Amino acid sequence: MVHFSDEQLISRYLKGDEESLAVLIRRYLGPVYGFVKKYTGNPDDASDITQEAFVKAWKSIKRFDRARSFRTWIFTIAKRTAIDWLKKKNALPFSALEGGKQGSSFAESLADDSVSVFEQLLLKQSSRELAAAISKLPPNYGPVINLRVNDELTFQEISRKLKKPLNTVKSQYRRATATLKDLLVKSGK
């Protein structure tokens, strides 16, 4: 059974062969764990995320499009699960973001049109490094980052919640992501 393709194992599992799923899990458990560990930097967290990813895959396997690659599908689930975990792990109380004075740097004046910079940083940095970088942001950037990433609010919702103009919120988010990128690059990552 070990020599069956992923597609054959999925077909066999969907027809009632439980062992086929076990073979598929054994096939990808190590690679997915290693992949997730690169994001978390912590073996225990990587183990939990890997387990959660496989549970999600098991719950959704009946909807899996067998014309696609199972490998790509399971790694996509693992990546999304890791990102969700990192977002939850990096939630900082607003009080931790207060204090310090707002500096004016070149990074703050840059306009970054990429909305996905923060997500890219999440993928590249461990949660500790990212939390340390977020704590170094000017105080007015922290709430915008937390509301956008952790609470998944739109810029308009953030604008209303913080009672700031929409363009100010967008600008603060772009500057915060540019500053985060700069801080993480300077830390040698």
The mean pLDDT of 68-87, rounded to a whole number, is 88
Delimit the domains of the chain by residue range: 6-89, 94-186
The mean pLDDT of 81-103, rounded to a whole number, is 60
For domain 6-89, give the fold. Answer: Rna Polymerase Sigma Factor; Chain: A (1.10.1740)
Look at residue 99 and tell me whether its pLDDT is greater than 60. no
**Domain at 94-186: CATH architecture:** Orthogonal Bundle (1.10)
Specify the pTM: 0.48
Distance of alpha carbon 61 from alpha carbon 36, whole angstroms: 20
Q: 3-state DSSP call for residue 102?
A: coil
pLDDT of residue 37: 86
Name the least confident of 46-60, 63-77, 170-184: 170-184
Look at residue 30 and tell me whether its pLDDT is greater than 70. yes
Distance of alpha carbon 103 from alpha carbon 116, whole angstroms: 24
Distance of alpha carbon 77 from alpha carbon 57, whole angstroms: 7
The mean pLDDT of 92-106, rounded to a whole number, is 43
Give burial (CB, 10 Å; 0-12/13-18/19+) of 72. exposed
pLDDT of residue 125: 41
How is residue 2 written in tokens? 């070990």
Return the percentage of the chain with pLDDT > 90, whole number: 7
Residue 113, CB half-sphere, CA atoms under 13 Å: how many? 0
How is residue 151 written in tokens? 């609470």
Distance of alpha carbon 19 from alpha carbon 128, whole angstroms: 39
pLDDT band at 1 (very low <50, low <70, confident <90, very high): low
Give burial (CB, 10 Å; 0-12/13-18/19+) of 111. exposed
Q: What is the mean pLDDT of the chain?
A: 76
Distance of alpha carbon 181 from alpha carbon 119, whole angstroms: 11
Could you tell me which residues come within 8 angstroms of residue 163 by beta carbon, excluding any fewer than 6 positions away? none
pLDDT of residue 111: 39
In the chain, helix, strand, coil percent, each to 5? 70, 0, 30
Between CA 40 and CA 180, with CA 174 as vertex, the angle to 5 degrees is: 35
pLDDT tens for residues 117-170? 444 444 444 455 666 777 788 888 888 887 776 667 788 888 999 999 999 998
pLDDT of residue 163: 93
